[in-house]
C-alpha cells in the first residue's frame, strides 16, 4: 500500500476518511501514537496521516460551519474522494473498514475498534445472523465507532461511560432510509435503556436538542425508576462535545413527526 512519489492512493484515502469520522479533530497531530503507527504502516512519514486528516477537515462543511478551517492544502483528489465517499457511504464505508482492518491485522474481516483514547483494539464478536452480509457488518461496526467516539464514549443523556452499555442509536432507522444508514449524524450515543425508549418513540429531542418525553411515558412518572431515568432528564439538552457535529436537524424532525412528538 506504499504510495508512489508521495501521492496518496485511493486505498489510503479510504482509510483516512474512515478514521476522520472516528477520531476527534483535536487528536489530529503527530503525538497521536495510533495515527503515527497507521502512517508508518502505510509506508508514509509519521506526520502524514494527521496532516491528511487536517486537510480533510478543511473541506468538511460541518466542520467549517463551526468557524474553524482545518489545514489548507487539500488536493483535488482529496476533494473528489470526499465527495465520492459521502455520496456512497453504503459502498465505501465497508471498503474502508476492511482496508483498515487488513492494514492493522492482516485480516480484512478482523473486528477492530478505534476508541476515543486513540487505541485500536481487536474485539470479539458473537454469532452473527446469516442474513447479515460481510458488508453490512463492516458498516455497522463503522457506524457504532463513529457515533460513540463523536460523543466521547458517553451517553448523550445520562453521561454513562461504560462502552458495553452504549448504543449508536439510529435517528432514522436502518430499515427506513438506506441512503442515511451510515451517516454518523444519523446517530446519537445512548445507553441501552434510552436507546430503546428513543427507538419506540417514548422520547425524542426538540429543535434545541432538549429531551422530550411522550405522553405515554409521562403517565409512568410516578414510578421511581421511570422518574429517575427519564423525568430527571426531561428538558435537558444532549451532552454534545464541542467538536461533534451533532445530529442533523432533518433527521430529528423525521423522528418527531414519525412518532407524533
List pLDDT tens digits, range 176-195.
Answer: 988 899 999 999 999 999 99
The residue assigned the cell 429543535 is: 207
Residue 163 is assigned to a structural domain of this protein: yes
Query: Is residue 94 pLDDT above 50, yes or no?
Result: yes
Domain that holds residue 21: 1-134
What's the distance, CA 210 to chain centroid? 21
How many domains is the chain partitioned into structurally?
2
145 falls within a domain: no
Same domain, 46 and 174: no
Q: Answer yes or no: do 41 and 80 share one domain.
A: yes
pLDDT grade, residue 1 (50/70/90)? very low
Do 252 and 162 lie in one domain? The reply is: yes
Amino acid at each position: 500500500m506504499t504510495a508512489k512519489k508521495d501521492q496518496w492512493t485511493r486505498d489510503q484515502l479510504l482509510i483516512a476518511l474512515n478514521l476522520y469520522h472516528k477520531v476527534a479533530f483535536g487528536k489530529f497531530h503527530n503525538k497521536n501514537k495510533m495515527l503515527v503507527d497507521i502512517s508508518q504502516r502505510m509506508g508514509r512519514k509519521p506526520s502524514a496521516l494527521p496532516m491528511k486528516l487536517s486537510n480533510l477537515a478543511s473541506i468538511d462543511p460541518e466542520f467549517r460551519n463551526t468557524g474553524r478551517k482545518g489545514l489548507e492544502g487539500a488536493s483535488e483528489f482529496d476533494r473528489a474522494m470526499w465527495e465520492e465517499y459521502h455520496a456512497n457511504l453504503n459502498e465505501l464505508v465497508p471498503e474502508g473498514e476492511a482496508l483498515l482492518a487488513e492494514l492493522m491485522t492482516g485480516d480484512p474481516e478482523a473486528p477492530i475498534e478505534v476508541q476515543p483514547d486513540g487505541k485500536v483494539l481487536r474485539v470479539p464478536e458473537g454469532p452473527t445472523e446469516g442474513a447479515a452480509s460481510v458488508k453490512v457488518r463492516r458498516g455497522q461496526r463503522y457506524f457504532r465507532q463513529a457515533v460513540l467516539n463523536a460523543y466521547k464514549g458517553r451517553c448523550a443523556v445520562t453521561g454513562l461511560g461504560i462502552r458495553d452499555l452504549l448504543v449508536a442509536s439510529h435517528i432514522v432507522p436502518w430499515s427506513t432510509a438506506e441512503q442515511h444508514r451510515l451517516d454518523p449524524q444519523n446517530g446519537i450515543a445512548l445507553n441501552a435503556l434510552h436507546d430503546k425508549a428513543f427507538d419506540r418513540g417514548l422520547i425524542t429531542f426538540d429543535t434545541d436538542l432538549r429531551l422530550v418525553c411522550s405522553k405515554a411515558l409521562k403517565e409512568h412518572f410516578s414510578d421511581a425508576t421511570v422518574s429517575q431515568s427519564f423525568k430527571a432528564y426531561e428538558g435537558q439538552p444532549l451532552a454534545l462535545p464541542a467538536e461533534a457535529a451533532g445530529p442533523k436537524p432533518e433527521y430529528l424532525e423525521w423522528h418527531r413527526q414519525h412518532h407524533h412528538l
